[in-house]
Amino acid sequence: MYYRSLFPRDLFAEFDRLQREMQQSFDPHPSIRGLTRGFPALNIGGTPKAVDIYAFAPGIDPATLEVQLVKGMLTIAGERKPEPLPEKATRHIDERFAGRFQRVVSLPDDVDPNAIDAKYRDGVLHVHILRKQEAQPRRITIQ
């Protein structure tokens, strides 16, 4: 899988990524790890004060979710157990993800690793990381 920054800064890097993704989807021999779509799906956004990551991971006991921040890399890992199949039952549709998962996001340099909190509600893990004080915009008064 390609490393990619989820916080676009450079337009050319973005074009590059787009081109790679298009190539990947038309490639008759895709990567052994499949396309970049993984579980849980991630939505990422930011404000001048914080970075917010939403991981769509339904049906997981929040106590078993591992959220780690090491050297600016945020890792979300865990396991989702398949629904048990009762005796003499048939599975007609089987689309939901089951098994171990891990996703890694590289965070921008200005986040504060000590100001991170995570909440799990309605199957969505919300990780909220504040940016460092010194990185926040400040108004300078003119003497």
Contact 44, 52 (CB under 8 A): yes
The partner residues of 126 in beta bridges, in order of sequence, read 54, 119
In this structure, the number of other CB atoms found within 10 A of the CB of residue 106 comes to: 14
Token digits of residue 101? 């998962």
Q: Determine the Cα–Cα distance for residues 117 and 130; give it in Å rounded to an integer.
A: 9
By the rule CB under 8 A, 94 interacts with other proteins? yes
Residues 99-138 touching other proteins, rule: CB under 8 A, are 120, 122-124, 126, 128
Query: Rounded to 5 degrees, what are φ and ψ at 56?
Result: -85, 90
Given 19, 34, 35, 58, the residue binding other proteins (CB under 8 A): 58
Minimum CB–partner distance for residue 49 and other proteins (Å): 8
By the rule CB under 8 A, 83 interacts with other proteins? yes
By the rule CB under 8 A, 57 interacts with other proteins? yes
- Residues of this chain that interact with other proteins (CB under 8 A) are 6-8, 37, 40-50, 52, 54, 56-60, 83, 85-97, 120, 122-124, 126, 128
